[in-house]
């Protein structure tokens, strides 16, 4: 089952697709990118590492081939396409601690 997510001004950084397979108990957040021109938004750079720290993986897909589908059964791969310039968007530690204390 695949659910296309719809972002808006109040919902930024959310991957494009939420996928799950009931029989396998497998859930995946998947963002679709173009192989030759992919980049992450500021919101994705801030949200995905936070999700990663809490055990919620994000997967990147750039084609509808068996090779790319197979990636959904491996380790989360959004870090494979992380560019050094994205580091400037990472949320400061102080803000992360504040978020945890507010939960």
User: What rounded mean pLDDT belongs to the chain?
Assistant: 90
Q: Please give the CATH architecture assigned to the domain spanning 2-102.
A: 3-Layer(aba) Sandwich (3.40)
Distance in Å from the first CA to the final CA of the chain: 31
Q: Which of 9 and 68 is assigned the larger pLDDT? A: 68
Give the residue-averaged pLDDT of 52-75.
95
pLDDT the model gives residue 17: 95
**Contacts of range 45-52, beta carbons closer than 8 Å, 24 or more positions apart:** 45/86, 45/89, 45/90, 46/13, 46/89, 46/90, 46/91, 47/12, 47/13, 47/14, 48/13, 48/78, 49/90, 49/91, 50/91, 50/96, 50/99, 52/76, 52/78, 52/79
């Amino acid at each position: 089952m695949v659910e296309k997510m719809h972002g808006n001004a109040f919902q930024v950084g959310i991957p494009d697709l939420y996928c799950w397979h009931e029989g396998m108990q497998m859930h995946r957040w998947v963002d679709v990118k173009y192989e030759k021109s992919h980049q992450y938004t500021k919101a994705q750079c801030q949200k995905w590492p936070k999700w990663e720290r809490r055990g919620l993986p994000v997967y990147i897909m750039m084609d509808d081939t068996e090779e790319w589908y197979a990636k959904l059964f491996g380790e989360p791969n959004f870090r494979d396409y992380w560019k050094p310039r994205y580091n400037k968007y990472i949320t400061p530690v102080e803000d992360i601690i504040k978020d945890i204390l507010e939960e």
